[in-house]
Amino acid sequence: MTSRSETAASTPALDFWGIVLGVFSLGNFANAIWMLASPASWYENLPAGVPDFGPLNEHFVRDIGAIYLMIAVGLAVAALQPRWRVPACSSVAAYMILHALVHVLDTMRGLVGPEHWMIDLPGVYIPAILLTFITWKVAQR
């Protein structure tokens, strides 16, 4: 027999964190589609200063686009299936923290100028911290 709490946990539900993760998933989905469909356009036009990190490699942009597509899928699953939130959010948060550390390393070693501390703050560092907080919050439930 399935208990009431188990049934609720497996039922798609858009509660507070479901909405946050669902909207976040849409952003990642849009970013992924842009990378996969038009890597040169993404490289040149993303406001995050991607060309500062090196020349365009369309293959690698599409590789990363595939990662972001899977992140979008993971966040969508986390939004709709509360029992998958902790593993899905943990995985995405781990990626975002590692991604942020790569930015820290590349800025510290001078690959990009010090202006990237500010460029990357709202788009790389704060989202990594925020998603780590969200993961902690959903793990408490």
Partner 1 sequence: MTRTRLLLALAIGSYLAATPFLRYSGVGHAGIAHRNHAPRHGGQLAMVGDHHIELRRAGGSVEAFVSDAARRPLRPRGGRVVFDDGAAAADLVWDGYRLRAADVASARSITAAIELGNETLEATFTFEPSRKD
Shortest spacing between CB 102 and partner 1, in angstroms: 15
Q: Return the number of the residue (84 or 121) whose C-beta is nearest partner 1.
A: 121
By residue count, the chain amounts to: 141
Shortest spacing between CB 23 and partner 1, in angstroms: 3
Please report, as ranges, the residues that interact with partner 1 according to CB under 8 A: 15-17, 19-28, 30-31, 40-41, 44-49, 51-52, 54-56, 113, 115-116, 118-119, 122-123, 126-127, 130-131
CB atoms within 10 A of CB 127: 18
Q: Return the number of the residue (1 or 17) whose C-beta is nearest partner 1.
A: 17
Shortest spacing between CB 70 and partner 1, in angstroms: 16
DSSP string covering 72-134: HHHHHHHHH-GGGHHHHHHHHHHHHHHHHHHHHHHHHTTSS-TTHHHHHIIIIIHHHHHHHHH
